Amino acid sequence: MAKELPKEPTDPRWMPSRNVLIAMAVLLQLAVAGWGIWHYFYGFGDEEHTALLVAQVMTPEDMVYPDTEVGITRGEKLPPIDMADAVRVTPNALREGKQLYEQNCASCHGQEGRGNGPSGASLDPPPRNLTSLEGWKRGTRISDIFRTLTLGLEGTQMSGYEYLTPAERFELTHYVQSFAQGHRADTRASLAELDEEFQLSQGAQEPNVIPISMAVDNEIAEATPVPSEPDSARDSELRSAAPRGAELFAKLVAPDERTRASYLLASDSTWVESSERFRRIVTAGVPTNGFSAAAVRLSGADWRALHRYAALRYRPDTGGG
């Protein structure tokens, strides 16, 4: 007679035996130990694999948060500022200034302007207590505060707010002054000086805006001397001297990516030492360094050929390696 099978999950016969549980635990431990051994010997433990992992997982573009990356915007000519209206305190100016303060200043200076905002606790020097008129580096007149909001304060964490329009900076100035009474009044001369310094009544020029990743590329470009591209005669000579390397270079580096490849080879000349060093430097950054990801599949002979061509193209004094 066949053994009756349990019909309900609550039946104790559904539960695996103690021996089965022990066997499963041992297998799990062996699997974890095996993975650890494999990872130590064949994973990302050496310099090459570590560099390759970093290049594939975190590129300069990845280090820019998506919500901070902006498109290219051409700066526009802002309308002229009527200085008489700009320095006049109005309910609308205070209302707009309060909103700007909460967005840009309250985290350091605090909602009540006492310099006790949550982000200001670790700053040295601490944020200004806006309720006191003592110790202001530039003064507390409208022109003084506007200048500080535009230029920032050297030696402190107070940066300039040039991304705000001049009208917004005046509104923010009025709200900052509202935290205390007794501010000195500007003179015609001080307002005229402010107007002349920032070309306010003539209409300011809004700065151009570019993506952060493009700004990073521009900084690299300015700091890195890039070898000049060979002329047609020199290019023909190089192709004749290293035909296989020239063919590989053309396949791996698109014409519009040659600048990036040039930055790479100009910034670290140790690749000239050997084709193996060259391979490590190139594969550690593909495809963001200008070289196609197909480079990782090249054979040793191909790397030697490509290395010789690159050495001739960018370091003609070496003769390859």
The pLDDT tens digits for 196-215 are 999 899 886 666 666 665 66
The dihedral of CA 25, 27, 31, 33: what is its sign? positive
Please indicate, yes or no, whether residues 114 and 161 belong to a single structural domain of this protein. Answer: yes
Residue 149 lies in a domain: yes
Please indicate, yes or no, whether residues 90 and 65 belong to a single structural domain of this protein. Answer: no
Residue 311 lies in a domain: yes
Residue 267 lies in a domain: yes
Q: How many domains does the chain have?
A: 2
CA 176 to chain centre: 31
Of 198, 224, 252, the position where a domain reaches its end is 198
Check residue 66 and give its pLDDT. Answer: 45
Residue 29 lies in a domain: no
Please indicate, yes or no, whether residues 170 and 87 belong to a single structural domain of this protein. Answer: yes
On average, the pLDDT of the chain sits at 79
Check residue 102 and give its pLDDT. Answer: 94
List pLDDT tens digits, range 25-56.
778 878 877 776 665 555 544 444 444 444 44
Please indicate, yes or no, whether residues 92 and 188 belong to a single structural domain of this protein. Answer: yes
Residue 8 lies in a domain: no
Phi, psi at 80, each rounded to 5°: -60, 150
Q: pLDDT category, 13, cuts 50, 70, 90?
A: low
Q: Domain containing 117: what range?
A: 83-198
Q: pLDDT category, 285, cuts 50, 70, 90?
A: confident
Residue 3 lies in a domain: no
How far, in Å, CA of 294 to CA of 257, rounded? 14
Check residue 287 and give its pLDDT. Answer: 83
Please indicate, yes or no, whether residues 215 and 296 belong to a single structural domain of this protein. Answer: yes
- Could you count the other beta carbons within 10 Å of the beta carbon of residue 85? 11
Please indicate, yes or no, whether residues 87 and 192 belong to a single structural domain of this protein. Answer: yes
Of 157, 176, 198, the position where a domain reaches its end is 198
List pLDDT tens digits, range 175-204.
999 999 999 999 999 999 999 999 899 886
Answer yes or no: are the C-beta atoms of 313 and 252 closer than 8 Å: no
Residue 39 lies in a domain: no
Residue 5 lies in a domain: no
Judge whether residue 312 has pLDDT over 70.
Answer: yes
Contacts of 100 (CB under 8 A, 6+ apart): 164, 168, 171, 172, 175
List pLDDT tens digits, range 262-280.
888 887 788 888 999 999 8
Which of the two residues, 38 and 307, has the higher pLDDT score? Answer: 307
Please indicate, yes or no, whether residues 87 and 194 belong to a single structural domain of this protein. Answer: yes
In the chain, what percentage of residues exceed pLDDT 70? 70
pTM, to two decimals: 0.46
DSSP 186-252: PPHHHHHHHHHHHT-TT-PBPPPB--HHHHHHHHHHHHS--PPPP-HHHHHHHHHHSHHHHHHHHHH
The domain that contains 111 carries what CATH number?
1.10.760.10
Of 163, 198, 233, the position where a domain reaches its end is 198
